[in-house]
Amino acid sequence: MNPLHERFARVRTFIFDVDGVLTDGSVNALASGEQFRTFNIRDGYGIEQALKAGYKIAIVSAGNQEGVRKRLEFLKIKDIFMGGPSDQKLNAYLGYLTRDAIAEDEVLYMGDDLPDWEILARPTLLSTCPADAADEIQAVCDYISPKPGGRGAVRDVIEQVMKAQGKWLR
């Protein structure tokens, strides 16, 4: 078994950023002031399967759009940490691990840009990013998905973990 496969086999908790990970990073601004994002349905299916299999899933994002929150709640994600300053993502992440007594070596975190760097650079967790993540992020990640953000990167890492543990459907 290769070392990356062994790391996937230890994961019990997935933590995702939103913009650039669950979405392609685009923001559509309407005259009403609403700023909406587009999510990938296959990423949503991967999240659904991971939750059914008993994995924990959390969101850590500086953004705080109500439409995004409703999508995450529709996907049955309960641990949603949104709206803090981007330089406070590490505090939200560490607070979640402490609150739920989560071992960091059982965490897969996916981020795409500099506000995620402090978390992704931590040596114990499995750090991942989409194919189109910032260069600085790719440089610190253990795994770079071949899929871009909002276009299957989340589904890819969920499948990698579940397949390594013999839990993926097919």
Q: Residue 13: beta bridge partners?
A: 56, 107
Contact 101, 12 (CB under 8 A): no
Q: Both tokens of residue 77?
A: 């994600």
The answer on whether 156 is annotated among ligand-binding residues is: no
Which amino acid is it at 123?
Answer: P
CA angle 164, 133, 94 (to 5 degrees): 70
The answer on whether 17 is annotated among ligand-binding residues is: yes
> What is d(CA 13, CA 104) in angstroms, rounded to the nearest whole number?
9
Q: Residue 57: beta bridge partners?
A: 14
> What is d(CA 61, CA 102) in angstroms, rounded to the nearest whole number?
19
The answer on whether 113 is annotated among ligand-binding residues is: no
Q: Which residues of 84-121 are buried (b: 16+ CB within 10 A; e: fewer)?
A: eeeeebbebbeebbeeeebeeebbbbbbbbebbbbbbe
Binding-site annotation, residues for substrate = 19
Binding-site annotation, residues = 17, 19, 112
Binding-site annotation, residues for Mg(2+) = 17, 112
